[in-house]
Structure 1
């Protein structure tokens, strides 16, 4: 891919927005786990290094889900053993259960995430548990992680729509989310897993939670709404946004899903709004163009395509 000099948008601060946003980079885990081919561990390590060089403060590195279910991340131990852990950079990993936590602890991680469902259908398909039964699986994981001094994040998927159930009642999402927070999760990420949310839904769900200090958002761009939804969340007081470098990732539960919100697209918007985030767009675009070359296809990020051709 050819490169040209990066131009930055004019910064025109928007009212009612946070001064700074934490970008929770999920590309190395949520992005690469959706690849049909296994990416070599050396490439993953260079990807993480390049993202750290670009200023990423949170890099979700890998997952300790059983290799049978996510073969793309079967190299979790090897990756963490070879990782150059930078000072000031957090490297959370996903753990599905107590066995996954044991593996994570043995690898020396300091931050883990659990992945819950806001709906009955997805809980049964993804976790082989009912909506209520999933908490019995997560409780000992969170308790042990906290006892070991680890940070714990909770993901709640299908918060805005479910392919089997349709629209998800807001009180149901709030109930699931508050149970995860009460269990001991430090932060809760609200996931639009199939990318159907619109800004009004986002505003209404965050209002239903009331306090948003411990909430993050995770949007997919299936219907082109991820940036609009992110802006709605920022206006509601959310200060942590999940995104994926180059828009890596997808959703197996929605046809034509275009994947996660691209970090570059998010950075472009934040720069234009005068919101601090700590990432260097030039280096970030270079990194995503580099990874796209290794994956053998163009980056889905509009900003990467605009800047890197």
Structure 2
């Protein structure tokens, strides 16, 4: 069965970015593109007025979906548009069930600058397939112009936690990198310990190495497993100390894609539940892929 890429679209500039990314992805994978437009839930108004009102909304939504489909077809992508009643998040989560990936903009028409939209956050938390959230200022041409700059240029960055190679984010990141001819950067973060100098630079260094040794061992083990699974894939490992969200945001400045799981362990505990997810989705400069913690049944 052919793969399907789903994109949430409402005609806003944010969803235009998502549509562009989804079209490129569908073209690269020879996948079908499904453009989903939600008209929201019915409102309580006089029945004599509601029929024409709903009809007008749905007719406009059909036009929006049609324009998106036409844009995809101009790039040789097989595309279909659907208009659904219901809240946008619920509609997209339902559409994610058979999809290979779901693409959304950071916000929709009513988004507040500087915050992740309620739809993108809810979809990322509950979708059945990987969700790609496009940042506000995502500009593939500008990024291509500075490709080669930065430690993660030409790479997919995947966060590694205590799940190691069993983390769905690692699996998805490796698969994406392999299919798109990119390198893979496996990143883990060790929280900074309290600064208690011993008075000896050599002893301080030994203490730091002892604290980070388990993290190095974990990420190296994951890298070895990925290389065994995908022999041709260029894999690098990185162990940082500090705040996980800060390190992932820094990585996004040069990475092609940052991949994280919908639930984290260790340094990534609480992903999509607190500060880590909000920081990466709010401040990241690359597309962010959120991978469900559980595989589809």
Fold agreement, TM-score > 0.5? no
Q: Indicate the structure (1 or 2) with the bigger Cα radius of gyration.
A: 2
Q: Which has the higher contact order (CA 8 A, sep 6+)?
A: 1
Which is richer in strand?
A: 2
Q: TM-score range with shorter-chain normalisation?
A: under 0.3
